[in-house]
Structure 1
Amino acid sequence: MIVHSKFAQRSSSSFEFEEGSSSSSELLEGPSSTSSTPGHTYDVFLSFRGEDTRHSFTDHLHKSLKANLIETFLDDEKIETGEDLKPELETAIKASRASVIVLSNNYATSTWCLNELVLILQQRKTSRHIVFPIFYHVAPTYIKKQEESFGVAMAKHKQKMEAETDATKRSEFAQKINLWKEALTQVAGLKGEHLNGSRGETEFIEELIKDISSRLRITSRSVLPQLIGRDNSKKFVTSWLKDAASSHTADILTISGMAGIGKTTLAKYVHAFHSHEFDSSSFIEDISGKCHNQYNGLLNLQKQLCDDISKPNSIQVHDASRYTSQIEKAVAFGCITWKQSFSSRKQNYSNNRVQMADKELCTIQDEYQLQA
């Protein structure tokens, strides 16, 4: 299998696959043994006040997350020991792609919860960590202004700080309180979900799971291809895709080879593992077949692609050229596009196409060629 690039005036690159080691029997379809994503141990870290929700809402949420293949960290420690955050909790937060923060009435009474909150929001700023605030029978304004139960909790922390006789510890405690206050104000300003009795918890959790799965791109995990004996191919394509090596200057990378040796599987694998790192993605299969066999097939595929990588538009478009223009604008603004199609001698379609910003990965069969 040869991997090469060729399209208009854009730069190209190539490398060679060892065809002999890529028989179809070595490419397995099915759930991956890797539950989260490279660089992360967990999908979600659950931050909650145990005495409020451990045996009710949080327990139900945790079970639902696991049932939907969302790898979740939940601290089983029921009694807090010490003021500082446990090292394993800090590690778990940093090893998670997202955090669900269950902001309940007594959340701020826990120094552990407050320290978790500070670190989670720091991760949000520095590591693309996604935050899902849940206002569990509390009003965001009380959290923002530290009123009601949140005001009482912060006042008790202040009293404890003022009672500290060691000047150094008192100063450190005062700094922590300031961080806690800033974090509470910040999280109250984030868009979150409100559970206040207007709908049942079961319905609420179902909607939350859908949102988490969508934001973290969990839906493709259950059918993630497993590549056996393809480590070098995965490393090369991933390196090129993420600009890990300065030598990868090609805009388009094309994988060609006979049917059944794993071109599509490789494209699916790369998409499943890296699409979550970008703001938007689209994976479209069998472009040529759908264009030939379906009424308005090309228009429908362009609409799907445009909807996936750009903001929803209520205006109906019935001209393929207008969708082409919209897609070009979306890509120009740094969206990523993942496309899969089937090659054709008469049309400039490729078997699989993956585009990140201004990069594109295509696969075609040997007997077909991309038109210049």
Structure 2
Amino acid sequence: MALLPSYSCSSSSSKGGKYDVFLSFRGEDTRKRFTNHLYTTLKQKGISTFKDDEKLKRGTSITPELLKAIEESRFAMIILSWDYASSKWCLIVLTKIVECMKKTGLVVLPVFHYVDPSDVRNHRGTFAEAFDKHEESFKDNMRNIETWKAALTKVADLAGWDLKDKYESKVIQEIIGRICTELYHKFSSVYEDLVGMDSCVEEMLGSYLGEGLGDVRFVGICGMGGMGKTTLAQEIYRRISGNFEASSFIANIREETKNQGLVSLQKQLLSKILMESEIRIWNVYEGIDVIRNTLHNKKVFIVLDDVDGEQQL
């Protein structure tokens, strides 16, 4: 059976768009914490993301490149923090995002960063204070102010995530899962022409890998060679790996065991989970302990392809 390359989530960069996600945020409020954690996780999942301090070239005029990045993105994540509206640049970007919702079908996903969504929607609290200051600065151009207010109300009306009383890590995983699911539905699959694939995948997800079936699941796909076991496993991995903290698809288990040994496979697994290139393991038993200690408190999805011995599991 021919093995197909594995990946965590479809990327728009190979399908016509330059970025999957555009991040809009007030740097002083969130850059070093929530935004950084979100951006790091997006990168780990292979989701092409525009973040101003990563993508903008030094000396480049900020507005044109930012606005162009929005037009070239599939999703816009707007992190609405307490001081977001005080930034003229944030409001200009926000207005462009709302414009692209209508023109390009940009999907907008707001995050309410410890602010009340109703305060954002109705311009109360710090948002009211911010617009009062803008009105002082733009007395001769109140049209801009009204446009910014309308854009803020529009975004605040959208379904999103409220961080109040929630673990940030859990919210980030929900965001990643939503984006990966949307990307899967938005872009055609390399398996779309395979007869019966969807029904097989749905049966696996519904009967064996769905919600409410326990915390730990061990599922085997068995059968004669050439039946499509690897292809089915690849498609399942593609669809749901984004819902986990970490994921790994390891191919050619039988051949790798014969040629490189189990320690090599253990290193490969940990390298993908930990996103580290150099893993130090000297024997199988040490590897078992490291894997157990590393994964025991994580929500992970691991696929081992072409297993032919219990020792490999």
Q: TM-score per shorter chain, which class?
A: 0.5 to 0.7
Percent of matched pairs sharing the same residue: 38
Question: Aligned pair 1:152/2:129, yes or no?
Answer: yes
Question: Aligned pair 1:90/2:11, yes or no?
Answer: no
Find the counterpart in structure 2 of residue 108 from structure 1. 85
Question: Aligned pair 1:285/2:197, yes or no?
Answer: yes
SS at match of 1:90: helix
Question: Aligned pair 1:191/2:159, yes or no?
Answer: yes
Q: For the residues of structure 2 that align with 1:133 and 1:268, how far apart are their CA atoms?
A: 27
Q: For the residues of structure 2 that align with 1:147 and 1:209, how far apart are their CA atoms?
A: 30
Larger Rg: 1
The Cα shift of 1:178 comes to 1.1
Deviations 1:114-139 (A, max 9, x none): 11111111111121111110011011
TM-score normalised by L of structure 1 = 0.48
TM-score normalised by L of structure 2 = 0.56
Find the counterpart in structure 1 of residue 177 from structure 2. 210
Q: For the residues of structure 2 that align with 1:35 and 1:103, how far apart are their CA atoms?
A: 25
2:24 alignment partner, one of 23, 47, 61: 47
1:122 alignment partner, one of 95, 99, 124: 99
Find the counterpart in structure 1 of residue 270 from structure 2. none
> What are the equivalent positions in structure 2 for 1:56-75 lying under 5 Å apart?
56-75=33-52
Q: For the residues of structure 1 that align with 2:167 and 2:182, how far apart are their CA atoms?
A: 23
| Preserved contact between residue 104 and residue 136 of structure 1 (Cα < 8 Å) | yes
SS at match of 1:40: coil
Return 5+ residue gaps in structure 1 as ranges.
1-23, 78-83, 163-169, 222-266, 273-281, 291-296, 305-341, 343-372
Question: Aligned pair 1:131/2:108, yes or no?
Answer: yes
| Preserved contact between residue 85 and residue 115 of structure 1 (Cα < 8 Å) | no
Question: Aligned pair 1:29/2:1, yes or no?
Answer: no
Deviations 1:9-41 (A, max 9, x none): xxxxxxxxxxxxxxx9xx872158x94242200
1:180 alignment partner, one of 119, 144, 148: 148
| Preserved contact between residue 84 and residue 90 of structure 2 (Cα < 8 Å) | yes
Q: For the residues of structure 2 that align with 1:29 and 1:149, how far apart are their CA atoms?
A: 52
Deviations 1:199-239 (A, max 9, x none): 21111111111111112228x99xxxxxxxxxxxxxxxxxx
1:269 alignment partner, one of 190, 211, 214: 190
Find the counterpart in structure 1 of residue 219 from structure 2. none
RMSD after superposition: 3.6
Structure with greater contact order relative to length (CA < 8 Å, sep ≥ 6) = 1
SS at match of 1:132: strand
| Preserved contact between residue 85 and residue 116 of structure 1 (Cα < 8 Å) | no
> What are the equivalent positions in structure 2 for 1:340-355 lying under 5 Å apart?
none
| Preserved contact between residue 22 and residue 51 of structure 2 (Cα < 8 Å) | yes
SS at match of 2:197: coil
| Preserved contact between residue 48 and residue 103 of structure 1 (Cα < 8 Å) | yes
> What are the equivalent positions in structure 2 for 1:300-315 lying under 5 Å apart?
none
Q: For the residues of structure 2 that align with 1:179 and 1:76, how far apart are their CA atoms?
A: 26
Return 5+ residue gaps in structure 2 as ranges.
55-60, 207-226, 228-313
Find the counterpart in structure 2 of residue 262 from structure 1. none
Query: Match for 2:138: what amino acid?
Result: M
SS at match of 1:217: helix
Q: For the residues of structure 2 that align with 1:60 and 1:286, how far apart are their CA atoms?
A: 34
